[in-house]
Structure 1
Amino acid sequence: MFGLGRFGSALAIELVEIGIEVLGIETDEDRVQRHNGLLTKVVRVDPGVNEALEQLNVKEYDVCVIAIGSDILASILTAAYLTKIGVKEIWAKATSVEHGEILEQVGVHHVVYPENDMGRRVAHQVKGSTDFIEVDDTYVIIKTTANQHIIGTRLGDSEIRKRYGVTVMAVKRGKGTWVNADSDTIVAEHDEVLVAGPTKEAEQFGLLN
């Protein structure tokens, strides 16, 4: 993990919590100290000191993530170096479309836009969905409260796919666990549902009362 600012720190800690070993690389000594004990290993490396990265055997890691946002030049140079040494999978944070395009040009495999993605997610929450996952540019999964169009009726009889172009994937009642939905599932008032479908159709369904 190159860069332990807010995005890099949150991502690195989450990865460790799910059992993945993470090497954190940071230029700021205070951030290095704050992450000691939280990550598998944390080291301070000055920008452009590729010899230090060679000693850390960075190219042996399965995935490298560039979470540097404030210093675009450092982000691009790091990406170019990782590409040069043959890292198998490179992810990088971009702060603008132009930044992202350059990262792709130098060989980054996956470019993410955390601020844009969060903005879109919040927009969908404001519009009525409690959560929103973009599978790709045209297909999404939303978590929302069941509406009157599916409450009290077998999903198989509701014709939800035919009428709204979406599919109810799972249902959660109260503080219970998520249960896979099928044609015999009957949704109750106040149930939460996971709904999948094309972006426009899923958004419209999430706005129904």
Structure 2
Amino acid sequence: MADSRNDAVVVIGLGRFGGSLALELARRGTEVLAIDSRAKIVQSMAGRLTHVVAADSTDLEALRQLGVADFHRAVVAIGTHLESSILTTSLLAELEVDDIWAKAISREHGRILQRVGAHHVILPEHDMGERVAHLLNGRMLDFMQVDDDFALAKTRPPRQYVGVPLGQTNLRRKHGVTVVCVKSPGEEFTYAGADTVLTYGDVIVIAGRTGQVERFADLP
């Protein structure tokens, strides 16, 4: 591994989530140290990741020997083994890793992870369930919650705002949302401005409070 590890990431736990994360980081050029306690999993990833090690992440000395304390960022992707997840997270905090991300299988699990040192908690099943619910129940083409009460959504423009320059619609005052960008048929996304005129074939990305985004996306 390189001497400077500010941009490198330790990924601990190579199940579906952790394995996919490690491979995607590596594909993007990020240096990854992948750790899993299961030799079979490590062997299967050896040809796909440069640095993949079989080790017990609940063993502080093992983490020290792997140089984990030298890394700026770490992800604990252990989901189902709660004790291992919590202990590994606490050991990373003891090693003073600056930026610890940890996967949780419930909000209660997430709160414990935060108490023992996680800076960010990931709830992939919950987040995906919430996203799919939004897509199933409305006219949204995509949805992303970016904060507790702020979201981005990809949708079609409501009929009443087709053919009108955005600067004349007062969308933010009326609905509390902003059209961030627009994609016309056969073209790429471009930033929306006051002079942008939406058409029926357009796809738009809107931003705003979650409830306001939901209501606007449901307009006919």
Q: TM-score, normalised by structure 2?
A: 0.90
Distance 2:200 2:48 in 1: 42
- Alignment-derived partner of residue 195 in structure 1: 206
Could you tell me whether the CA contact under 8 Å between 2:142 and 2:153 is conserved in 1? Answer: yes
Could you tell me whether the CA contact under 8 Å between 2:37 and 2:55 is conserved in 1? Answer: yes
- Residue 69 of structure 1 aligns to a residue whose secondary structure is coil
- Alignment-derived partner of residue 36 in structure 2: 26
- Residue 149 of structure 1 aligns to a residue whose secondary structure is helix
- Pairing 1:145-164 to 2, within 5 Å after superposition: 145-164=156-175
- Matched to 1:77, the amino acid is L
- Alignment-derived partner of residue 66 in structure 1: 76
Q: CA RMSD in A?
A: 1.3
Q: TM-score, normalised by structure 1?
A: 0.95
Unaligned runs of 5+ residues in structure 2 are 1-10
- Residue 113 of structure 2 aligns to a residue whose secondary structure is helix
Distance 1:82 1:204 in 2: 42
Distance 1:22 1:10 in 2: 12
Query: Over residues 107-161 of structure 1, what are the superposed CA-to-partner deviations in whole Å (9 max), with x where a residue is unaligned?
Result: 1111111111111111111122111111211111101122212211111112222
Query: Over residues 2-54 of structure 1, what are the superposed CA-to-partner deviations in whole Å (9 max), with x where a residue is unaligned?
Result: 00111111211222222211111011222212222322311111353332221
Could you tell me whether the CA contact under 8 Å between 2:155 and 2:217 is conserved in 1? Answer: yes
Distance 2:73 2:94 in 1: 15
- Residue 135 of structure 1 aligns to a residue whose secondary structure is strand
- Pairing 1:41-190 to 2, within 5 Å after superposition: 41-127=51-137, 128-190=139-201
- Residue 147 of structure 2 aligns to a residue whose secondary structure is coil
1:47–1:161 CA distance, 2 compared to 1 (3 A): closer
Structure 1 segments of 4+ aligned residues over 4 angstroms from their partners = none
Could you tell me whether the CA contact under 8 Å between 1:150 and 1:160 is conserved in 2? Answer: no
- Matched to 2:37, the amino acid is T
Could you tell me whether the CA contact under 8 Å between 1:145 and 1:193 is conserved in 2? Answer: yes
Could you tell me whether the CA contact under 8 Å between 1:26 and 1:44 is conserved in 2? Answer: yes
Could you tell me whether the CA contact under 8 Å between 2:57 and 2:63 is conserved in 1? Answer: no
**Percent same amino acid among aligned pairs?**
44
Distance 2:185 2:50 in 1: 38
- The CA deviation at 1:68 is 0.2
The count of residues paired between Structure 1 and Structure 2 equals 209
